[in-house]
A and B are shown apart, each in its own frame.
Chain A
Amino acid sequence: MKRRANILVKSAILSLSLTLAGCGHPWPQPAAGGMAERDGPVEPDHIDTATTILIESGRKRISPARLATAEDHLILAIRENAAGLYEDADEDTMAASIAVGGLNQYRQDDETACIGDTCPETARDIK
């Protein structure tokens, strides 16, 4: 009798363990960054690109379509950066810079960084 009771107890423990083990579903990590641009860019490169877009937009030296494309890439880069997709963020940052055409990044320190081949003489080539 005692032996049967032991079997029942062990079975119950086994079943409970299996049940608890089934509750442990491997969900991926929480997402983030879907509207990160609302807080503004945080990365220096993003700030530079945003500054460039703003300046170029004001100067009307770049066509509206290219500015819009640059904005799209910048928004995506900011989101990806916030989501931890850093390589994608770098790629979109580059795409945003290329989209504005001049490839001149107006940095916050008032210097101009150039990543293209046709940069102004005063630009600092960071290529």
Chain B
Amino acid sequence: MQNVDAINAGNFEEPKTNYLNNGYTLKSWLLTKDHKRIAIMYLLTISFFFLMGGVYAALIRLELLTPQSDLLESGTYNRVFTQHGIIMVFFFLIPSIPAMLGNFLLPIMIGAKDLAFPRINLLSLYIYWIGAALALFAMMQGGVDTGWTFYTPYSTTFSNGYVMATGLGIFINGFSSILTGLNFIVTIHTMRAPGMTWFRMPLFVWAHYATSLVMILGTPVVAITILLLALERVARIGIFDPAIGGDPILFQHLFWFYSHPAVYIMILPGMGVISELISNFSRKKIFGYEFIAFSSIAIAVFGFLVWGHHMFVSGQSIYAGLVFSFLTMVVAVPSAIKVFNWSATLYKGQISYDTPMLYALFFIGLFLIGGLTGLFLGSIGLTVHLTDTYFIVAHFHYVMVGGQVLAYLGGIHYWWSKMTGKLYSEFWGKISAMLIFVGFNLTFFPQFILGYMGMPRRYASYPAELQVLNIFSTAGASILGIGLILPVIYLTYSVFFGEKASANPYMHPGLEWRTSSPPPTENFEETPIVTWEAYEFGEESGLDLEEARKELAKV
């Protein structure tokens, strides 16, 4: 108990060495086993890919400013949207929250010194780098024009891009996901601090547990699929191409058997971040902890049963289509439960409007629209009209960008002081959050209307009567772009010139706030003993709130 009191009161000695100043050589970074340093290296790489994917997005929106394909000719446009998809999905969204925030926070949140397998964690990073380097190499050589979905027989027989190099990059990158997922699951099972029971874990950890399940069960399937693709393309063994005895629909089944669950890899961790933000900035227990925790697991499980809803018009049996439509409607329920619980958490809270909370509130709004439009697309009679149009483009951007990217940014802002030991400018934080919200809606909302009007996706040119809405969309994208560049500037600035952060600037109860900012290499000077429930803000949390208020008053 002594230990707990000391930590809680915040009067532990700040250690002289933390994970950042524990060695400055390149070698000390590249051969580190520290999950926090690995997370920072992920942050830098992921940010690079996000920027690159963003440049491709900008090219897409500029091309679509006019109905003709004038800025980019259609062959180039096809490569640009393919690269945008591949980079954003495989090299940004999938690793974004798990490999970066998850890596940094998961061990600290459960009171562990590191992940269960620190060397494998470093290996995951190197595998990611190798996969990414291969994909970059393919891009430099001219890239691919298959769309990120690699549908056969186009990808095996007709495309003349660097399909194999890109495929190999994604194949290798998949092992990074598998190892990270495995590492998380073992860590959560075996490394929790004394007193950290399953139902005392932050929901961020529950969400990562569910994500890890999907990663280790789903990713091997995409690896197998790419291998089969390679066999067909190189050795001409008939698997997907009907000309040599294959079945093109089989590829879609295999591809979506991974890629639909992968959608949940791209949103579940975001939901975990939002649960943290909403509860902490309302200074109140999260409403229905168990329901949120188990809805993550339910999403992970049901997520494996709905892949066929990507194939409603592909020629699969109509009865299969009906079953997949039904299951898709079922999987909507756990997502709805989360939204209701987040909203109810705000009731009678003590809500502050810090930048991370703004991101969380915007997330609720955008995820609502993303989720509800998912019902449109799950309803099979409606999706016959909507699939492969801009409606679907708008829908998944609302979920992936409005959901995951906002959660990722909210998380980075929230834990920035923990990661760097510095405070960023709240003013600029709020400005950029609002620019992103406005810019995002202006970019993607018109695309729902375009989609219902029938504008097909992946079109370099389109009928002139659709131009006005496309102009709105491109205008919105430029606002969104500014909103996304601002954090790069003020966050980088804060690292060098920012005010020093205390161990617990928000007085939040999570274990990550009960160690110094930035934390020491071994995370805690002494192993913490957990005596409080999750999201405990009152007396039981042991936080010395009076003291903190006095400190605040002094400043």
Q: Do A and B bind each other?
A: no
Q: State the A residues within 8 Å of B (CB).
A: none
Q: State the B residues within 8 Å of A (CB).
A: none
